Structure 1
Amino acid sequence: MSQNTLAEFVEATATKFGIPGVAVGVWVNGQEMYACYGVTSVDNPLPVDRDTMFVLGSVTKTFTATALMCLVAQGRVDLDAPVRRYVPELRLAEEQTAASITVMNLLNHTGGLGLGFIADTGEGDDALARYVAQLPELELIGPPGARASYSQAGFNLIGRIIEKVTGLTYERAVASLLFEPLGLEHSFYPASDVLSRRFAVGHNPGEDGALAVARLRKRWRGDNPGGGLESSAADLLRWARFHLGDGRTESGEEVMPAEMLQRMKEPTVELRGSSLGDAFGIAWFLRDVDGVRTVGHGGSTNGQFAELLLVPERDFAVVSLSNAGPNGIPFNQAVVQWALEHHVGVVDRDPQPIPHDAAWAREVVGDYDMDSMYVTIAGDGTGLTLEVDIKPEIRAAAVTELPPGYAPAAIGRLPGDGDEYIITEGGMKGQRGFFTRDEHGVVVGVDLAGRVATRVA
């Protein structure tokens, strides 16, 4: 497949979804291909290129986890050790959880921690320490090891482990362990490093539907381990090639033993009813698509979206970056699906919902609480919709603009055990989840994108 064909598809898809600027990279048959389209900002436009930096959101977690695994390989961290071995000051809402949660629980989201909270802990070198000091406020969803539930807070805590073990700030440690040896020259956390280079800004639609620049570009330093890295399509493709390789740099320097790198891509806990994956590895989502194992992670921030997918057995990788909501996610998904089909011969299709069941709909309708956000399932007798937004009281208290929520979008019930669903329209189209029930069969929670929300009585 030629570079021109890729470029034509990317331009047509970006135009279809109304994205101001995108950057796409593909590694296939031992070669790199790039397709960039549009501008960094509608207010101050510069052409997007392969080195333009986007905020990666949760794709950052793959860097945080890899940095920690470097410390594991050096014998400085034990995956099965309690987190308190490295962060003895850790306190949580329940002492038993704080005492028993392990490093691996954080890496594969089985710590029983809620998603996270919105907290500006400053831009000083103590930002992560101050974030960890607020963890007693975090909702706990269950005992460590009981189930997987995606947690931003857990990865911020991993960042604090890295600081305590290395004696460096999290950002300096990751740069020393990964960026510098791998030659990632367009990957930074601090705004001072980003602002002197070409970077994208996010966009969201206003009340009139026109896209406007998102003024909160990314969240605070205390959230850096879970979502604060800025990087480019070229650097992310180099990052993907490292994870497809043997743990060495292009010059032969060992960053991590090959078996440790491979361990990150092996299942640690199964996931149910998720479009993100069938299992967690170490940070990575693992998913079988058309009989082929894929390894990936996505990320979203205020109007910026990232998707990174690897197919190890085919030595293939694709990265897609976009700078507008709510269509950044479906744009990235369309690019990944197209690249899989045209370069690997793998077809990724969404499962089809079954006809509407009014009795089931009545059981699941309601409000669900997820830390700083809410999920609302509503029905009109003919179908169901799902809405996600930041809680009104948190928006009211915010001193800066927060990302918009997702408007109500239709969902359909999936065949199988009867409590799985798929979103069939809007910016979250294709996302899957499931409802959980108590011992009496009453719906008490909903999972969305690997995160659990508890039903509000």
Structure 2
Amino acid sequence: MTLSVHAQETHFTDQRLNDIERYINQGMADENIPGVSIALIESGRVIYTKGFGKGDNENSRISPQTPFQIASMTKSFSALLILQLENDGKLSLDDKVVDHIHWFRTSDKSQSDQISIRHLLQHNSGFSTQSGNFTQNSQYRGADATERSVKALQNSQLVSAPGSSYEYSNSNYHIVSHLIEVVEGAPYEAVIAARIFQPLDMRNSFVQIPVNKTAEPAIGFPQWFGISVERPFILGRMKMGDGGVSASAEDLSKYLLEVSQGELGLVTKNMRDSLFRTDENIAHYGLGWQISTEGDMTVYEHGGNNGGFSSQFGFTDANSRKADIGFVILTNYTSALHSQFIWNVRQTILGSERLAKKLNTTNLLSLIALYGTILVLCFCIYRSIKTSKPTRTRFKHFIIPSLLIAHGYAMAYVIPGLNKINLFSIYPFFPDLAVGLIGCSALSILLAVLMLIKLSTFWKVRQLD
């Protein structure tokens, strides 16, 4: 619904709002997206909120009050909590992590002792992307979850010296969430509720599991070959600080207004300057916020992906155009094939004509190749079992099983590693891709084993002769 009459030179004209709605409706139909919720801000006011589609298979309708898992958009909340603690004199951004978590270390203690809180928030601590992706399936909810996630890094190797280069890693915000708990002496959920949700009247926001009554949360729908399949899943507490918040579009618009305007005093000018101040080596990332440009606009934003949820929110620099604008885009789907919906809605909102292709042809070809290989491997295994009689062999015949084992290893470890994730962490986001990789790996190794058994049988028969 539209909440205000548009000024003569408004960015969100009736025509643009119609274009946004039209693109969302068409995209949902074309890409089988269950639900979407958006909020739009202009000149310091929420001027439009609307929900589209369903939140689960029971056809509960999406509204602006529906909470969605916002995944890595949580990082901006964690960064703000740190700045609030600094404002209270409880820590400094340039404090070393070991100043507050005395036992903190990686495999090289002399390096990890140099990691500051600022390094964590800006992703230039030296932790790798892959190190932060090993808890994507964790559902552990113990009170010591954040401590466990930090202790799990004790054998990690930094990929660069602290402060020297940028590499996005959830590990940084695992540490931040534990740091917040240590400094405040309270669970992360309680801290964020007291310091952000309650002051901003964010009634449909919580960390992972709602404590108070909220609107019915949306359920995630990871896609199998472009078909959305409901998968109720809540991450464990290890993931709170980097991806644990659930919030509605309506609530997030309140949060964006406070971060960008600071009218309630929750975010001071000094905090805002710190949030968006970039390092000389990192021009595109502040403290929990990505900084980009679109035409003549500077955009402060962050995206997020949990299994079955994709989201984006942000706002523009008020100095870059006649009207400052903000946006919240929440969806309850993830897809290997249709991965550009969020980006294209963002572009439509910003008024850019630079849209991406809806279908990810690279991933489509990858899925075809994976499942084609699975069919070939199944046929070869069938032939191998059916033809049980050992055949003559030579040393060169050991090459094929060796290649099959190497292929299985590549599917299970090398390819996920190149994408800086482990195999089983892919499943919550892209189950069709994960099952294809697992199937290729397992069947390659099975076929290799069958061939080696036949070769071994032949040698035994030959020795008996």
TM-score, structure 1 normalization: 0.72
Between the aligned partners of 1:143 and 1:24, the Cα distance in structure 2 is: 40
Between the aligned partners of 2:235 and 2:333, the Cα distance in structure 1 is: 17
Instruction: Determine whether 1:107 maps to 2:124.
Output: no
Secondary structure, in 3 states, of the residue corresponding to 1:69?
Answer: helix
Between the aligned partners of 2:420 and 2:296, the Cα distance in structure 1 is: 35
Q: What letter corresponds to residue 273 of structure 2 in structure 1? A: Q
Secondary structure, in 3 states, of the residue corresponding to 2:48?
Answer: strand
Deviation, 1:374, is: 5.3
Matches within 5 A, 1:321-400: 321-326=330-335, 329-341=339-351, 348=354, 375=415, 388=419, 391-392=422-423, 394=424
Q: What letter corresponds to residue 37 of structure 1 in structure 2? A: F
2:153 to 112, 116, 135: 135
RMSD of aligned Cα (Å): 2.9
Instruction: Determine whether 1:37 maps to 2:47.
Output: no
Q: Which residue of 2 aligns with 1:241?
A: 257
Deviation, 1:17, is: 2.1
Aligned CA distance change for structure 1 residues 196 and 175 (closer, same or farther; 3 Å): closer
Residues 276-298 of structure 1 show CA distances to partners (whole Å, capped at 9, x for unaligned) of xx511111111122132110000
Between the aligned partners of 1:101 and 1:191, the Cα distance in structure 2 is: 32
Deviation, 1:347, is: 5.2
Instruction: Determine whether 1:292 maps to 2:297.
Output: yes
Q: Which residue of 2 aligns with 1:256?
A: 267
Q: What letter corresponds to residue 429 of structure 2 in structure 1? A: P
Q: Is the 8 A contact 1:269 1:281 kept in 2?
A: no
Matches within 5 A, 1:257-272: 257-271=268-282
Q: What letter corresponds to residue 127 of structure 1 in structure 2? A: A
Matches within 5 A, 1:17-56: 17-29=31-43, 30-41=45-56, 43-56=57-70
2:204 to 178, 182, 186: 186
Aligned CA distance change for structure 1 residues 297 and 26 (closer, same or farther; 3 Å): same
Between the aligned partners of 1:309 and 1:86, the Cα distance in structure 2 is: 32
Deviation, 1:227, is: 0.2
Secondary structure, in 3 states, of the residue corresponding to 1:114?
Answer: coil
Between the aligned partners of 1:24 and 1:318, the Cα distance in structure 2 is: 7
1:404 to 414, 426, 430: 430
Stretches of structure 1 that go unaligned for 5 or more consecutive residues are: 272-277, 352-366, 378-386, 409-457
Deviation, 1:142, is: 1.3
1:74 to 78, 88, 91: 88
1:232 to 241, 245, 248: 248
Instruction: Determine whether 1:220 maps to 2:225.
Output: no
Between the aligned partners of 2:212 and 2:227, the Cα distance in structure 1 is: 27
**Which has a greater percent of strand?**
1
Q: What letter corresponds to residue 75 of structure 1 in structure 2? A: G
Deviation, 1:243, is: 1.3
Q: Is the 8 A contact 1:374 1:391 kept in 2?
A: no
Q: Which residue of 1 aligns with 2:388?
A: none
Instruction: Determine whether 1:197 maps to 2:215.
Output: yes
Between the aligned partners of 2:186 and 2:99, the Cα distance in structure 1 is: 18
Deviation, 1:404, is: 2.1
**Which has a greater percent of helix?**
2
Between the aligned partners of 1:57 and 1:194, the Cα distance in structure 2 is: 20
Q: Is the 8 A contact 2:259 2:267 kept in 1?
A: no
Aligned CA distance change for structure 1 residues 248 and 87 (closer, same or farther; 3 Å): farther
Deviation, 1:71, is: 0.8
Q: Is the 8 A contact 1:26 1:33 kept in 2?
A: yes
Aligned CA distance change for structure 1 residues 87 and 25 (closer, same or farther; 3 Å): same
Aligned CA distance change for structure 1 residues 286 and 111 (closer, same or farther; 3 Å): same
Between the aligned partners of 1:52 and 1:145, the Cα distance in structure 2 is: 39
Equivalences, count: 359
Q: Is the 8 A contact 2:97 2:116 kept in 1?
A: yes
Q: Which residue of 2 aligns with 1:454?
A: none
Instruction: Determine whether 1:163 maps to 2:173.
Output: no
Between the aligned partners of 1:406 and 1:389, the Cα distance in structure 2 is: 18
Secondary structure, in 3 states, of the residue corresponding to 2:250?
Answer: helix
Deviation, 1:270, is: 4.2
Between the aligned partners of 2:317 and 2:157, the Cα distance in structure 1 is: 36
Residues 78-112 of structure 1 show CA distances to partners (whole Å, capped at 9, x for unaligned) of 11111111111212121122211001000100000
Stretches of structure 2 that go unaligned for 5 or more consecutive residues are: 1-12, 358-406, 435-465
Residues 45-102 of structure 1 show CA distances to partners (whole Å, capped at 9, x for unaligned) of 2010001111001000000001111111122111111111111121212112221100
Aligned CA distance change for structure 1 residues 291 and 374 (closer, same or farther; 3 Å): farther
Q: Is the 8 A contact 2:36 2:331 kept in 1?
A: yes
Between 315-324 and 258-267, report the one with greater CA deviation.
258-267
Aligned CA distance change for structure 1 residues 194 and 156 (closer, same or farther; 3 Å): farther
Q: Is the 8 A contact 2:33 2:228 kept in 1?
A: no
Secondary structure, in 3 states, of the residue corresponding to 2:206?
Answer: coil
2:228 to 208, 211, 219: 211
Between 224-233 and 256-265, report the one with greater CA deviation.
256-265
